[in-house]
Amino acid sequence: MAQESHSLPSVPKSLTAMNDPGAKTRKGIRFWLVLTSLLVSLFLAILENSAMGTALPTIVQDIHGNQFLWVLLVYGLTAAALVPLSGSFAEIFGRRPVMFLALFFFAAGSAIGGAAQSMNMLLAARAIQGAGGGSIYALTQIILSDIVTLQERGKFSGLFGFTWAIAGGIAPIVGGGLAKQTTWRWLFYLNIPIAGVAMFLILVVMKLPTPPGTFVEKVKKVDFIGQTLIMGSTAACVIALAWGGVTFPWKSAHVLVPLVVGLVGLVAFGVYEAFFCHNPIVPLKIISNRTSISGYLQIFLVVFIFTNYVYYLPVYYQACKDASPIASGVDVFPIAFTTAPISVIAGASVTATKHYRPQLWVGWALTTVGFGLLITIREDTARAVSIGYQILPGIGMGMVYYTTLFPVLAPLSVTYNAHALSLSMYLRSLSQVWGVALGGTILQNGLENKLPTSFTSVFNTDAGVAYSIIPQIPHLQQPLKDQVRAAFAQSLAGNWIMLLALSGLGLASTLMMKALPLHTDRDERWAMEGDKAPDPSSGTTSEKQADIDVNGA
């Protein structure tokens, strides 16, 4: 049983490669429509989630809530926990129905969020949105891997990176523009027509194969034990992160117990998947080589950094520069201005050069230097200087964000694409939770230690202190106002120090990678109707690509 669970599967006859490794499959109108539906879906999920950070102070104040961090974390929790299941469902039931269901959940959660009258209702909406959003992240990548080869993927990954960067970059502006008591609900409601467009495109143009077998036969293939383990473990870890240092001390049982349970559960999940499961969510083969492991580690780090950056940089401008939510969105626009075009250039360079390591080396180096500069920012730093310092980390993250998928996929046969990409999206979703939670903990703890007693004796400094007091800062009298602004700047500097250290770790992790060829295979089991690659005269190329020695990668 253990041998079956992680041995390389036999290469299906439908796995084909072009006669000429440099040849490219013809891209018809259906291909571009499918690609458009993927980009629209991805843009939808990223925009709403990223805009939440800027609009959250207004939302929390309007519905008289607290525990602001959970509004951000619950989305990441359900997204991370359900990503592996969505990838497994896509392999068992087919790509199109799972993608459609993901968009439906996202739209349903948006409708509930727009109508929320209490914090509990808002949290429920965010949980449902996260279930859909996490699946959207996974399915867009899986379907892209079905319709293009890894060698072609660079330019299309650039488009995905551009979409991610633009959505994440303009999200603070959108969130700020809607951050009013009378309009914040449209942050949710606007998702519904966009989701409807994406769902229509998927129904009409996404003609992807459906795996054979009855519904009962397919259900029997679902790894329910593994999914239960990973969902429960992820939830326990998130609870510990949300409470640690904010609601309860890190050394308290309220934090340590769920953290230990979660980590032990993740280990148990790995053991079960490797040695006991017939249809594992995470086959051992995809993490049995150092190049893929390096890619996964970089994915976790860059998404952690980017998410934290987008959420907490607007806090600096709102707290230290008296910026309105929409003005703070404009102040952090260099994130999109640099990250978006660089992600396209980085992806295109991989396609042109057939190499991915140089882009990652340079990207991580620039990110590290950029956060070194951000550490020096204080409450009285010139606005132009603080905005200029955003450029280097923006360029660096743009080079890294989607390039990390190449070291993950290069050592693996394309038959592992769905599982490998599901794991990468799980790590992306989980790292978003960690990025928000640890950033919030650093900010919260810093403020508790640095806010003047003349302020804390008057204003409530509960777990939502960062968001609950920002609207009060412009109305404070001097010198109290400058003291509070200094407390925010110094607390955020602790956050930038963490991101600097993680950027350095990302650079170090690139040393694990090997320079591997970008294979030209597609798994024709999942090719679109009318977009089948021609069969080669022999299976030699395909067999070579499918039998890549991952042990030495």
Domain count, the chain: 2
- How far is it, in rounded angstroms, from Cα 381 to Cα 384? 8
Contact between residue 198 and residue 75 where contact means Cβ atoms under 8 Å apart: no
- Inter-CA distances, 60 with 83, 118, 173, 487, Å: 28, 9, 18, 22
pLDDT for residue 5: 38
**Are 124 and 248 contained in the same domain?**
no
**pTM across the whole model:** 0.77
Nearest to 511 by CA among 302, 365, 339, 305: 365
Share in percent of the chain as helix, strand, coil (round to 5): 75, 0, 25
Q: Answer with the one of 231, 252, 278 that is the final residue of a domain.
A: 278
pLDDT for residue 547: 40
**Are 181 and 240 contained in the same domain?**
no
Contact between residue 376 and residue 489 where contact means Cβ atoms under 8 Å apart: no
For 304-329, how does the pLDDT look when each residue is reduced to its tens digit (9 = 90+)?
A: 999 899 888 988 898 888 888 778 87
Nearest to 70 by CA among 464, 423, 538, 498: 464
**Are 233 and 325 contained in the same domain?**
no
Q: Give the pLDDT band (50/70/90) at residue 68.
A: low
- DSSP codes of every residue in 338-380: HHHHHHHHHHHHHHHHS--HHHHHHHHHHHHHHHHHHTT--TT
Residue at 439 is within a domain: yes
**Contacting residues for 29 by C-beta, under 8 A, at least 6 apart:** none
Residue at 5 is within a domain: no
**Are 140 and 69 contained in the same domain?**
yes
**Are 512 and 402 contained in the same domain?**
yes
Residue at 6 is within a domain: no
pLDDT for residue 223: 84
- How far is it, in rounded angstroms, from Cα 54 to Cα 72? 11
pLDDT for residue 549: 40
- How far is it, in rounded angstroms, from Cα 471 to Cα 220? 53
* Tokens coding 532: 């089948």
- 201: CATH: 1.20.1250.20
**Are 365 and 482 contained in the same domain?**
yes
For 450-502, how does the pLDDT look when each residue is reduced to its tens digit (9 = 90+)?
A: 888 877 776 655 545 556 678 778 888 888 888 888 989 999 999 999 999 99
**Are 532 and 548 contained in the same domain?**
yes
Could you check whether the bond before residue 479 is cis, i.e. omega within 30 degrees of 0? yes
Out of 123-137, 155-169, 300-314, pick the least confident. Answer: 155-169
- Owning domain of residue 257: 223-278
